[in-house]
Amino acid sequence: MLNCSTLGGKRVIPDDAWEKSDMTVLSEVTELLRRWDVWKRVEAAPERIDELERRLVNLESKLKRAPGEACPKCGALEFRTARTEPLDGQLGELGMTYRYMECGACKHTERSTEKPKA
């Protein structure tokens, strides 16, 4: 607290100046808290970056191979053609084929008949 001897030791700083000072302190504290919040995010960043990297690698590995169709049983995009073979007899001779689909996730299989491609 400042005293001024020329004014008989009375406090020369008006009370409203102290109020301003409180406001200054408050804004400084607010600023510090704001920075602390930023700092906490910075501190958490390496962990978040690691997590994002893991997710990216996971996505990349899924994109390496074109996704199959959605499995009608479990929904995984791993429903793919396992093999095709011609139908027996005349229909096979006409080019009709069985298409065996298998799900890579749940092993669900389906067989469909396909007409020859025009």
Per CB under 5 A, residues contacting Zn ion are 71, 73-74, 76, 103, 105-106, 108
CB nearer Zn ion, residue 24 or residue 109: 109
Burial-class residue 79 by CB neighbours within 10 Å (0-12, 13-18, 19+): buried
Residue among 73 and 80 whose Cβ is closer to Zn ion: 73
Q: How far is the CB of 76 from Zn ion (least distance, A)?
A: 5
- Work out how close the CB of 107 gets to Zn ion at its nearest, in angstroms, rounded to a whole number: 7
Distance in Å, CB of 105 to Zn ion, minimum? 5
Which C-beta is closer to Zn ion: that of 87 or that of 106? 106
Could you tell me the smallest distance in angstroms from the CB atom of residue 112 to Zn ion? 16
**For residues 73 and 86, which CB has a smaller minimum distance to Zn ion in the complex?**
73
Cα 86 to Cα 18, 20, 99: the distances in Å are 94, 91, 9
